[in-house]
Structure 1
Amino acid sequence: MSSQDSGQQSAISAFHDDEIVVDLNDRDFVRRELEALGVEVSQSRESQALDLELLRLSGLAAAIDAYGREDLESSMRTAGAGVYRPEDRYTDLDLLLFHLRKRAEERPEYAEHKPVFGKNRFLGGVWGSPHIGGDEIDPVLAGRVSLPQRGEQNPCSKRIGVLDTMTFPHENLDGRYLTAGEALFPRNITGLPSTTAHATFVIGVVAQQAPNAEIIVRSVLDQSGTASAWDVAQEMVAFRDAGVDILNMSFASVTDDDEPPLVLQRAVERLSPDVLLIAAAGNHGSLFQPLRYPKMTAQTPVWPAALPGVVAVGALAEDGKRAAFSPALPWVDRQAPGVGLRSTFLSKGVRIAHRDENGGLNVALIETSFGDPGYAKWSGTSFAAAYYSGQVAALAERECIPVREAHDRFPRPPWQTEEPYTA
């Protein structure tokens, strides 16, 4: 079964188990080795913007069995490669990648460098504690939120990209953002999980801080708040052509080996010189017991936030101190309010959804109303990132300075060794 076919499976494996991502410079080598192993490439997608190719595989399990599954597993354990739990077996994809790396070691052209290939991982992070939610795991009804009036557009106004779920039309947001028609839910639709409203909430938070900013919204996360790293990376680099100054990414992923997803890393490398990338730092700071699925502790890096070139934003509580759920890790660059924020939301017939401790998505049968139009109160670093994106854009507009200069004026967290700036 492919990881994408089962919600529980995707929570456990956290990657498409029939796909690999390959650098274009190394695809001939990989394709030759796949053919020799008896693995077929059933579909491929190429990205010139990322210099990567996505390969969908068929016949992988049979090829691994024919080659010698037990021998490969024994070699992996001896080499200490990958992640192995006694209750599990290595996945077919783990064994394939190990085999490809060993084969590359025998090739003279890879004596100086290693070939670049890896998994197409899932990204997520719009669900409940410990991922998103914090002190208030689920969104709750809030009173009306009044967004600041938009002023006159001027040359110093900034453009903010938001990469998130689909968007729900809301009267308070009309005229404040641009998005493709197919990325909009119809008005007054009912029965949707609360995760669907994530982008609508995020846009409202951004607009409250930066009412004059032009907000460009693109949908990549599905109704459960997940997407493949390939799809996210493709949408990320597309923002370069949209001319955004800031890209807000309120989602995250973790990996079994704590290494960044290849395709996300490549997208950040291509985009960060031109765009200020801001991402949620995750809500796992108060994990006293490690999660089994996904593998996570209070020290786990989340991606893309922990990548160089990305501003990772943690959450401040209402008293101005770090929220308990917000990680205090070296790669967390900034903090912003992220507890009890109020913003735009879905209206009637919302089914509250959150992740349980095993990574499964639970969607309530009972429908909840959030008013008409809808407003909610919610907490998490997802919304702290949105708040910070708006803060930076507003300061850059007010002072008529580049967004990176505005970002540098905001204080670093106290656990950072550098002397903080003041806005």
Structure 2
Amino acid sequence: MRPWTHQTNARRRRVSAASSGDPARWASRMESRRCRAATCRSVVWKDAMPRARAATEASRRSPPSRACRSTPAATPIRRAGSDSASRSSSAPGSEGLRLTHGSVPRNRPRVMYQSGDCPLCFSARATREPKEAAMADDKVVRRRIEAFFSDQIVIDPKDVRQVGQELDALKIKMVPLQSSLRLGLHLYQLGDLADGVRLLDHGLVERVKRAAVGTYMEGEEPSALDLALFHLREKSAAEHAGYRPVVAKNRVYENIEGSPYSGGSVGDPRPAPAFALPARSHSTRRRPRIGILDTPMHAHPRFAGRYVTDSDDALLEERQDRVSFSGHAIFVASVAAQQAPDAEFVIYPVLNPDRLTTSSWRLATTMAGAMDDDLDMMIMALGGATADGREPLALARACERTSGVVKVAALGNNGRNEAGAPPDVQVSELPPNIPMWPAASSTVIAVGARNAHDVFPAYFSPTQAQAPWVDCTAPGQNLRGLFLSGHVWMAELNVLEGVVERTDRSDYFPSPGYATWSGSSFSAAYAGGAMAQRAYTQGISVQEVADRLFREEPGSTPTTYDHAPSAGIDGIDVIRFQ
């Protein structure tokens, strides 16, 4: 159960179209819609009405801006019925603005507000965070195992002074970029870093290499940031009885399918026959809300009315020269929707559509900010490795502070099961025993992929012996889903260069677009959807379903799935504790 909290932040929502003929759009006739009143539990009503009145008065007193118009009232609407706010708002011509005020315990009705555009819509929470600097090649260090910004650090506020003093002594400038109160972290850019580390003793490089045996591959050398961070921790530990400041790199993550783990045409999506998503039920239960942290969303007409976004940036731009990974988010969401037809989806475009990458800072702040959206689950079909095998600071903090949301992530496509691989496939160069974050986090459900026979791990999925942090497996080969339409070029992500490369392979997908695809991303979507639907049909929380599936009893021994998978539910094979 989540704590009863009150948050005054507002979030603007763009809603998916309700029919194939009506595109998703912003509301333009807010005051013309008549507010509907609904009964709520008395304790919620008493808590909600003062905020509703305050929002109304603020809209009346404040001058219009950004084409905003005030309305005479803001009425709380109970979200306990089958028609969720996102669905009722996605009808043609209806408004797409919703002001959400905090999350509530699972056994209490959600209260949301609908009003006209007003300055509240453009509060600090509603305004999108400034985009980070482009991942230019000269700003990102790329190695065989990890990638990170060469001049950025993430730091805990209590250590800013200590770190600042040490870096100032080296004439390294600290420039603040962003801060996150939710994470309790700051993002800084470092200036004159290379010149500063030259002031350190010449034995530092050798000490770094000795302390990080196995971290650097042949030909790889510690970067200036590696040296600076090692110096900070070493000096602090010597002077303060082992204390090390909480400071780390801003790491780069990538789309799991984007990496050339499976290689060749085997990993390409293929055209598939048309199919219909399962219809939604008419139950009065609250629908589970699933966040999809992925690429921008393709506005597929068959997925209309099932999702919401927070900005135009969350939707894929319409153009002809599409590459295969542009359809990743819609495929992931549709796989989850096939298992959870009664869920509503919230789209978070954390992956850059051109590079299929994001940073640990952007991912973490998006996760923390999503707590305003009353999510039950997050599905993260992305990941990244660290050379030292440790969980990145920003991501660890985000997982810690989103404990009320079930998090599901792809285990990775870095398996080397050559026995089950097609003859022309190229297995991953990334070792299968390398933890992929966030899947390897103790607070995240790591999902591996089963093969086409639905028995053993897929050839691209690490085994339990290789990745003991795996929690379950789900179907991951030749799954069907919604996709782009028209002529689509197949693409691969060049990890070392950090760019999406269009291959000479292409295919035509008849409108409106259906495909089959393989990957652990889709296994994560399958498992997440199955858990969400189980929660909905049984009238319990998604967290409770996850607890029942993955609860470990003291002294228990896990069963393996490598050769004899345990019987799971809803297509999920859980590594059970008996």
Give the TM-score normalised by the residue count of structure 1.
Answer: 0.89
Q: CA deviation at 1:71?
A: 3.0
Residue 286 of structure 1 aligns to a residue whose secondary structure is: coil
Name the stretch that deviates more: 235-244 or 404-413. Answer: 404-413
The alpha-carbon distance between structure 1 residues 99 and 188, as it changes in their structure 2 partners (threshold 3 A), is: closer
Q: Name the aligned partner's letter for residue 297 of structure 1.
A: P
Q: Name the aligned partner's letter for residue 229 of structure 1.
A: S
Does the alignment pair 1:342 with 2:480? Answer: yes
Q: Is the 8 A contact 1:355 1:362 kept in 2?
A: yes
The alpha-carbon distance between structure 1 residues 131 and 278, as it changes in their structure 2 partners (threshold 3 A), is: farther
Residue in 2 that maps onto 1:121: 251
Q: CA deviation at 1:14?
A: 0.4
The alpha-carbon distance between structure 1 residues 251 and 134, as it changes in their structure 2 partners (threshold 3 A), is: farther
The alpha-carbon distance between structure 1 residues 132 and 410, as it changes in their structure 2 partners (threshold 3 A), is: farther
Of 543, 546, 552 in structure 2, the residue corresponding to residue 404 of structure 1 is 543
Alignment gaps of 5+ in structure 2 = 1-132, 419-427, 552-557, 570-578
Q: Name the aligned partner's letter for residue 269 of structure 2.
A: P
Residue in 2 that maps onto 1:312: 446
Q: C-alpha separation between the residues in 2 aligned to 1:183 and 1:152?
A: 32
Q: Is the 8 A contact 1:410 1:421 kept in 2?
A: no
Q: CA deviation at 1:257?
A: 1.4
The alpha-carbon distance between structure 1 residues 84 and 186, as it changes in their structure 2 partners (threshold 3 A), is: closer
The alpha-carbon distance between structure 1 residues 357 and 33, as it changes in their structure 2 partners (threshold 3 A), is: closer
The alpha-carbon distance between structure 1 residues 367 and 80, as it changes in their structure 2 partners (threshold 3 A), is: closer
Q: CA deviation at 1:374?
A: 1.3
Q: C-alpha separation between the residues in 2 aligned to 1:337 and 1:421?
A: 13
Name the stretch that deviates more: 29-38 or 11-20. Answer: 11-20
Residue 367 of structure 2 aligns to a residue whose secondary structure is: helix
Does the alignment pair 1:136 with 2:266? Answer: yes
Of 527, 531, 538 in structure 2, the residue corresponding to residue 392 of structure 1 is 531
Q: CA deviation at 1:186?
A: 5.4
Residue in 2 that maps onto 1:291: none
The alpha-carbon distance between structure 1 residues 134 and 311, as it changes in their structure 2 partners (threshold 3 A), is: farther
Q: Name the aligned partner's letter for residue 379 of structure 1.
A: S
Q: Is the 8 A contact 1:277 1:310 kept in 2?
A: yes
Superposition map of 1:318-397 within 5 A = 318-321=452-455, 322-328=457-463, 329-355=467-493, 361-364=500-503, 368-397=507-536
Q: Name the aligned partner's letter for residue 295 of structure 2.
A: T
Q: C-alpha separation between the residues in 1 aligned to 2:214 and 2:505?
A: 42
Q: Is the 8 A contact 2:475 2:526 kept in 1?
A: yes
Deviations 1:63-82 (A, max 9, x none): 112334x3321332354578
Does the alignment pair 1:274 with 2:442? Answer: no
Residue 206 of structure 1 aligns to a residue whose secondary structure is: helix
Q: Name the aligned partner's letter for residue 560 of structure 2.
A: W
Deviations 1:46-101 (A, max 9, x none): 11111111111111011112334x33213323545783345232100100001101
Does the alignment pair 1:173 with 2:307? Answer: no
Q: CA deviation at 1:222?
A: 0.7
Q: Is the 8 A contact 1:40 1:59 kept in 2?
A: yes
Q: Is the 8 A contact 1:252 1:282 kept in 2?
A: yes
Looking at CA atoms only, which structure, 1 or 2, has the larger radius of gyration?
2
Q: Name the aligned partner's letter for residue 22 of structure 1.
A: I
The alpha-carbon distance between structure 1 residues 132 and 115, as it changes in their structure 2 partners (threshold 3 A), is: farther
Q: C-alpha separation between the residues in 2 aligned to 1:411 and 1:28?
A: 42
Residue in 2 that maps onto 1:234: 365
The alpha-carbon distance between structure 1 residues 134 and 284, as it changes in their structure 2 partners (threshold 3 A), is: farther
Residue 364 of structure 1 aligns to a residue whose secondary structure is: strand
Q: Is the 8 A contact 2:149 2:250 kept in 1?
A: yes
Residue in 1 that maps onto 2:37: none
Deviations 1:109-136 (A, max 9, x none): xx26432111100011243465478993
Does the alignment pair 1:54 with 2:210? Answer: no
Q: Is the 8 A contact 1:167 1:183 kept in 2?
A: no
Q: C-alpha separation between the residues in 2 aligned to 1:34 and 1:161?
A: 39
Q: Name the aligned partner's letter for residue 242 of structure 1.
A: D
Deviations 1:128-172 (A, max 9, x none): 465478993111111213101122253242111111110010111
The alpha-carbon distance between structure 1 residues 187 and 82, as it changes in their structure 2 partners (threshold 3 A), is: closer
Superposition RMSD in Å: 2.9
Higher relative contact order (CA 8 A, sep 6+): 1
The alpha-carbon distance between structure 1 residues 148 and 134, as it changes in their structure 2 partners (threshold 3 A), is: farther
Q: Is the 8 A contact 2:256 2:520 kept in 1?
A: no
Q: C-alpha separation between the residues in 1 aligned to 2:316 and 2:446?
A: 33
Q: CA deviation at 1:239?
A: 1.6
Residue 395 of structure 2 aligns to a residue whose secondary structure is: helix
Residue in 2 that maps onto 1:14: 147
The alpha-carbon distance between structure 1 residues 126 and 77, as it changes in their structure 2 partners (threshold 3 A), is: closer
Give the TM-score normalised by the residue count of structure 2.
Answer: 0.66
Q: C-alpha separation between the residues in 1 aligned to 2:138 and 2:257?
A: 14
Q: C-alpha separation between the residues in 2 aligned to 1:79 and 1:249?
A: 32
Q: C-alpha separation between the residues in 2 aligned to 1:227 and 1:403?
A: 27
The alpha-carbon distance between structure 1 residues 143 and 308, as it changes in their structure 2 partners (threshold 3 A), is: same
Deviations 1:232-264 (A, max 9, x none): 000011121111111111111011111111111
Residue 178 of structure 2 aligns to a residue whose secondary structure is: strand
